[in-house]
Amino acid sequence: MRILVIEDEKKIADFIKRGLKEEGYAVDAAYDGQEGFFLAKTNEYDLILLDLMLPKMDGLTLCKKLKSEGKLAPVIMITAKDTVADKVTGLDSGADDYLTKPFAFEELLARIRAILRKKDAAVANKLQVEGLSLDLMTHKVTRAGKEIELTAKEYSLLEFLMRNAGSVVTRTMISEHVWDLDFDTFTNVIDVYINYLRKKIDEPYEKKLIKTVRGRGYIIKG
């Protein structure tokens, strides 16, 4: 899952970004409204964390413009404004949730999980490919009933592959959804992580699920 944080207080933005990365999310950050609007328009995000009091373009205007232009990524507004009227205004502008500062990071994570669950309401809590199972709630991965330990980035990569099971995903698609803007497209990091997954997911079993489609990318299928 890829998240955009739009927050002009750099310490807060970097704290949120660091914490979300530790949870396995790919995260980009913008420090003013214009930059945030540009990133949100030009990249595909699963969720946007949006401060209201932003330079160059305020959060309410930004949210309304995104929604009017068909950008449907869920938005959680994060702000020090905590009156009922402020919350109503934020939600009426198109936000999906509203969190007031200061907040506990655990609460932010819980709200993110809740929003993403709603976004994926049509997706079952478990993704399955043959005997491989990925639980979206617990992040538990098993094959043939045996639990497989994955790092946060390995899990994110496997989740993206399994959400697109049966379809080829290119390296560009993977970099956009699993990594962030700092990702160096000229490295072989994606291939390295695919190999990590193969060793854990496929190597112990006769049937291989993760396949390379030469010149295009990767596919996971039974």
Question: What kind and span of H or E run contains 3?
Answer: strand 2-6
From the list 170, 80, 115, the residue with the least C-alpha distance to 3 is 115
For the segment 178-192, the average pLDDT, to the nearest whole number, is 81
From the list 153, 198, 201, the residue with the least C-alpha distance to 177 is 153
- Among 50-59, 69-78, 197-206, the minimum mean pLDDT is found in 69-78
One of 2.40.50.140, 1.10.3720.10, 1.10.10.10, 3.30.70.260 is the CATH number of 126-220, namely 1.10.10.10
Question: Are the C-beta atoms of 62 and 36 separated by less than 8 Å?
Answer: yes
More confident residue, 80 or 206: 206
Which pair of tokens denotes residue 189? 């990091």
| pLDDT per position as a tens digit, 66-118 | 888 877 789 999 888 767 777 777 777 778 898 888 888 999 999 998 888 77
Beta-bridge partner residues of 180: none
CATH annotation of 2-119:
3.40.50.2300
How many C-beta neighbours within 10 Å does residue 192 have?
Answer: 9
The secondary structure of 40-80 as a DSSP string is HHHS--SEEEEESS-SSS-HHHHHHHHHHTT----EEEEES
The domain limits of the chain are 2-119, 126-220
- Distance, CA of 155 to CA of 159 (rounded, Å): 6
Q: Model-level pTM greater than 0.75?
A: no
- Distance, CA of 27 to CA of 30 (rounded, Å): 10
Confidence check: pLDDT of 121 > 70: no
Which pair of tokens denotes residue 203? 């190597």
